[in-house]
Amino acid sequence: MQITGKNIIGFETLSEGTVAIQATNPATGETLAPLFYKATIEELGYAADKAVKAFQIYRKKSGFEKASFLEKIADEIENLGDLLTERYVAESGLPQGRAVGERGRTTGQLRLFAQLLREGSWVNARIDSALPERQPAPRPDIRAMERPLGVVGVFGASNFPLAFSVAGGDTASALAAGCCVIFKAHPAHLGTSELVGKAIQKAAEASNMPDGVFSLLFDDGHEIGMALVKHPSIKAIGFTGSYKGGKALFDAAVARPEPIPVYAEMGSVNPVFVLPKILEEKGAALAQNYVASVTLGVGQFCTNPGTLFLQKNESFMQELEKQAPNAQGGVMLTTGIRDAYVKGIEHAKNFTQIIGVGKAPEGFTAVEPIILRTDIEGFNTNTHLGEEIFGPTSLVVEANSKEEILEVAKNLSGHLTATVHGTEEDLADYTDLIEVLEQKVGRILINGFPTGVEVSHAMVHGGPFPATTDARSTSVGTMAITRFTRPVCYQNFPDSLLLDELKSDNPLNIWRLVDGELKK
Ligand code: NAP
- Cα dist from 10 to 110, 202, 319, 388, whole Å: 20, 10, 56, 38
pLDDT at 56: 98
Q: Count of alpha carbons within 13 Å of 393, Cβ hemisphere only?
A: 30
What value does the mean pLDDT take over residues 183-204? 98
Q: Which CATH architecture has domain 17-266+471-483?
A: 3-Layer(aba) Sandwich (3.40)
Q: Which CATH architecture has domain 272-446?
A: 3-Layer(aba) Sandwich (3.40)
Q: Which atom of ligand 1 is nearest to the CA of 301?
A: 40
Q: What pTM, to 2 d.p., does this model score? A: 0.97
221 lines ligand 1 (CB under 6 A): yes
pLDDT at 421: 98
pLDDT at 267: 82
Q: Who contacts 120 (Cβ-Cβ below 8 Å, separation ≥6)?
A: 63, 501, 508, 509, 510
- Between CA 389 and CA 392 the distance in angstroms is 8
What value does the mean pLDDT take over residues 148-157? 97
475 lines ligand 1 (CB under 6 A): no
184 lines ligand 1 (CB under 6 A): yes
192 lines ligand 1 (CB under 6 A): no
Length of the chain: 520
Active site members = 265, 302
Q: Please state, as a whole number, how many other Cβ atoms lie within 10 Å of the Cβ of residue 60.
A: 11
pLDDT of 460-489, one tens digit each?
999 999 999 999 999 999 999 999 999 999
Residue 86 Cα, ligand 1 centroid: separation in angstroms?
A: 23
- Between CA 248 and CA 260 the distance in angstroms is 14
Q: Residue 219: which of 240, 243, 193 has the closest Cα?
A: 193
Is the alpha carbon torsion for 107, 108, 113, 117 positive or negative? positive
What value does the mean pLDDT take over residues 227-247? 97
Nearest CA to ligand 1 atom 9: 186
Q: Are residues 21 and 220 in contact, defined by beta-carbon separation less than 8 angstroms? A: yes
pLDDT at 104: 98
What value does the mean pLDDT take over residues 43-60? 98
Q: How confident is residue 164, by pLDDT bands cut at 50, 70 and 90?
A: very high
Question: Does the pLDDT at position 34 exceed 90?
Answer: yes
Question: Does the pLDDT at position 1 exceed 90?
Answer: no
Domain boundaries defined on the chain: 17-266+471-483, 272-446
Helix (H) or strand (E) holding 88: helix 81-92
Q: Which atom of ligand 1 is nearest to the CA of 267?
A: 41
15 lines ligand 1 (CB under 6 A): no
Residue 157 Cα, ligand 1 centroid: separation in angstroms?
A: 7
pLDDT of 63-78, one tens digit each?
999 999 999 999 999 9
- Between CA 149 and CA 487 the distance in angstroms is 10
